[in-house]
Amino acid sequence: MLKGFRDFILRGNVVDMAVGVVIGAAFGAVVTSLTKDLLTPAIAAFVGKPDFSAVAFTLNGSKLLVGNFLNALISFLLVATAVYFAVVVPVNHLMSRLKKPEPAAAPTTKKCSECTLDIPLEARRCPNCTSVVTA
């Protein structure tokens, strides 16, 4: 029982996935810091507030934290962009290079020697000109 568990844990895809999760979490923290510490103050300069996350609106006594939402949205877009260009595009390119071409499908029709109409391979007479079709 323990041997099976050990084989499962040491299987390549499980270890790769664990490494990917750890790297992804660290990358998410870096992107969040980039957004919070660099991008939002730059965007806040246009809005006129010293901290972009402080941008909020009050609507019927409820405070809408637009700045926090925009921080999260910018972080998501940066992570999605990085994952797309660093993972998805290279993997798709690699998979297209490794993909074997599909074999050509066997023909299901043949040409009538008299009228050149496409007819099924099993046909013995052409449905158009009724001539006898040889194999």
Residue 49: is its pLDDT beyond 70? Answer: no
Find the radius of gyration of the CA atoms of the chain: 31
Looking at the structure, do residues 65 and 35 belong to the same domain, yes or no? yes
Looking at the structure, do residues 79 and 113 belong to the same domain, yes or no? no
Looking at the structure, do residues 44 and 72 belong to the same domain, yes or no? yes
Provide long-range contacts, Cβ within 8 A and 24+ apart, for 61-66: none
d(CA 70, CA 76): 10
Give the residue-averaged pLDDT of 57-84.
83
d(CA 90, CA 98): 12
Quickly count helices (H) and strands (E) in the chain.
5, 4
Q: What is the pTM (predicted TM-score) of this model? A: 0.51
User: What residues make up the domain containing 33?
Assistant: 2-98
d(CA 34, CA 79): 11
Q: Token match 């993997």: residue? A: 91
d(CA 98, CA 87): 16
Give the residue-averaged pLDDT of 113-126.
84
The count of domains in the chain is: 2
Percent of the chain with pLDDT over 90: 0
Looking at the structure, do residues 11 and 73 belong to the same domain, yes or no? yes
Looking at the structure, do residues 62 and 112 belong to the same domain, yes or no? no
For residue 74, give Cα distances in angstroms to 22, 77, 81, 114: 21, 5, 10, 68
Percent of the chain with pLDDT over 70: 90
CB 82 within 8 A of CB 88: no
Tokens of 65: 């934290």
